[in-house]
Amino acid sequence: MKYIEKLRNSGLRPTKQRLQICEVLFNSEKTFHFTINELDQKIKKQASDKISLATIYNTVHAFEKKGYLKQIPINSNQTYFDTNISDHHHFYDLKEEKLIDLENADVGPINILKKINGKKIKSVEVLVKLED
């Protein structure tokens, strides 16, 4: 199974529950943005077994730590994750409360001129808020 490696790399044993979470996260053609709650709903529909919220949280956090998922910096009462782990940015539609991918090419190159002593840049993320 193709997900076993992802799980092992993340320090997780390939259990039935985790493999089903992987199916929902990584089996779709397109990448997508989600909250834990939305993922839970999706799993309820697609997976054969019930999976506890605790397992979903744990698995998502392990993948995020390993870099198989990205957390999107945004102000919301829920944390947003992204299965698109490429270097990219986001529109946030304030009315619809929806995220839209902005590929790196859609944003010019970003050159951070200021340097902080002893620190290096881990990521540069742009959030573009949209209104009507």
Partner DNA sequence: TCAGTAGTTTATAATGATTCTAAAAAGGTG
Partner DNA sequence: CACCTTTTTAGAATCATTATAAACTACTGA
Strand partners, 92: 99, 129
Residues 57-116 that bind Zn ion (CB under 5 A): 82, 84, 101
Q: Do 60 and 81 contact (CB within 8 A), yes or no? A: yes
Q: At 47, which amino acid appears?
A: A
Residue 88, CA distances (Å) to 18, 22, 26, 44, 126 in order: 27, 22, 18, 29, 8
x-or-dash string of contact with Mn ion, 38-77, rule CB under 5 A? -----------------------x----------------
The partner residues of 82 in beta bridges, in order of sequence, read 33, 70
Closest chain position to Mn ion (CB): 61
Q: Is 132 in the site for a second copy (CB under 8 A)?
A: yes
Nearest-angstrom CA–CA distance, 100 and 92? 6
Q: Which is nearer to a second copy, 48 or 123 (by Cβ)?
A: 123
Task: Pick one of Mn ion, DNA, a second copy, none as the site partner of residue 49 (Cβ within 5 to 8 A by kind).
Answer: DNA
| Buried-state track 72-86, b at ≥16 Cβ within 10 A, e below 16 | bebeeeebbbbbbee
Identify the residue among 30, 45, 50, 120 touching a second copy (CB under 8 A).
Answer: 120
| Residue count, binding to a second copy (CB under 8 A) | 38
Binding site for DNA (CB under 7 A): 12-18, 35-37, 49-55, 57-59, 61, 77-79
117 binds a second copy (CB under 8 A): no
| Residue ranges binding Zn ion (CB under 5 A) | 82, 84, 101
